[in-house]
Chain A
Amino acid sequence: MSQILGFILIVVILIFIVGFYSLIVTRNLIRILISLEILMKAVTLIIIAAGYVTKQTSLTQALIISMIIIEVVVIAVAASIVVGLFRKNGTLDSLKIKF
């Protein structure tokens, strides 16, 4: 059981690095949303693994469902803000945007 949690922990750390590096390096606003999604996937995976190991899958599933709903609302509102910024500035580059 600890073996599987160790493997999942390594995978979660690697996925988190992928998302975090992309979040820092990229300047395209839609790619920033994709990076945020990848970070959320890493957190989802570690919570599910913790529930599996502690045999509390019901609680973790309820938590994950709350997280998914918040995630989708964040992405939807952020996407609409990105579209609004593009209409105003004509670019998705975060360095060229003027508020």
Chain B
Amino acid sequence: MDLSSFNSDFVVFLLLLLSLIISSLCAVMIRNLLKAAIALASTSAILTIVMFILNSPWAAVFELSVCAGLITVVLISAISLTGEKPSEEIVILRKKRLQRFMILPLILVVVAALLWISWPYLSNWVPKIVSSEVTFQEALWNIRQLDILGQIIIILAGVFGIVVLFKEREVK
């Protein structure tokens, strides 16, 4: 995709960014928790497309498989394990919740307008281009070796935490 000038590719990219905002807004505003989790998965899927466009295919694959897949499964299983409330209580909670979130789209519009006004200052904020590009394999396995070790420890800690917390207590 050619994003260097204002053409049809650029417009498609802007639409993707817009859909990213809308889907994240849906994820926090939808009343049903299950639908909110699915909206979050769609946010991850759209972010994956954006990552592919921005030349990051490896991170995009991880984002799609782990964030859109695994985290959605974890959230949906947590939602199903926590169950539903009585219907009268749900109606009262939904009304209160809607009142709290009504102001959020307004805040977004105001902040977007402020950012649009301060556009000349924002467009000057650009990191400097560094020419020495390394390969992904070299970056992951050679430059960030300590991170890999940390990741292994974190995964083990996570697995241990889940096993301990999901373990059923013995009934005396």
Q: Give A contacts to B, CB under 8 Å.
A: 1-11, 13-15, 17-19, 21-22, 25-26, 28, 30-31, 33-35, 37-38, 41, 44-45, 48-66, 68-77, 79-84, 86, 92
The reply to whether B58 and A11 contact each other, CB–CB distance below 8 Å, is no
Provide the bound-state CA to CA distance between A58 and B156, in Å: 26
Bitwise, B61-105 to A at CB < 8 A (1) or not (0) is 011001100110011011101110000000000000100110010
Contact residues in A for B24 (Cβ distance below 8 Å):
15, 18-19, 38, 41
Q: Give B contacts to A, CB under 8 Å.
A: 3-4, 6, 10, 13-14, 17-18, 20-21, 24-25, 27-28, 33, 36-37, 40, 43-44, 47, 50-51, 54-56, 58-59, 62-63, 66-67, 70-71, 74-75, 77-79, 81-83, 97, 100-101, 104, 107-108, 111-112, 115-116, 119, 122-131, 133-136, 138-140, 143-144, 147, 150-151, 154-155, 157-158, 161-162, 165-166
The reply to whether B66 and A68 contact each other, CB–CB distance below 8 Å, is yes
The reply to whether A18 and B25 contact each other, CB–CB distance below 8 Å, is yes
The reply to whether A14 and B62 contact each other, CB–CB distance below 8 Å, is no
Cβ 8 A contact of B165, one of A11, A15, A48, A81: A81
The reply to whether A22 and B123 contact each other, CB–CB distance below 8 Å, is no
Number of A-B contacts (CB under 8 A): 225
The reply to whether A1 and B4 contact each other, CB–CB distance below 8 Å, is yes
The reply to whether B63 and A8 contact each other, CB–CB distance below 8 Å, is no
Task: Assess A44 versus B63: contact at CB under 8 Å? Given A53-B129, A76-B162.
Answer: yes
Provide the bound-state CA to CA distance between A14 and B75, in Å: 24
Provide the bound-state CA to CA distance between A75 and B83, in Å: 19
The reply to whether B27 and A62 contact each other, CB–CB distance below 8 Å, is no
Contact residues in B for A61 (Cβ distance below 8 Å):
56, 58-59, 136, 139-140
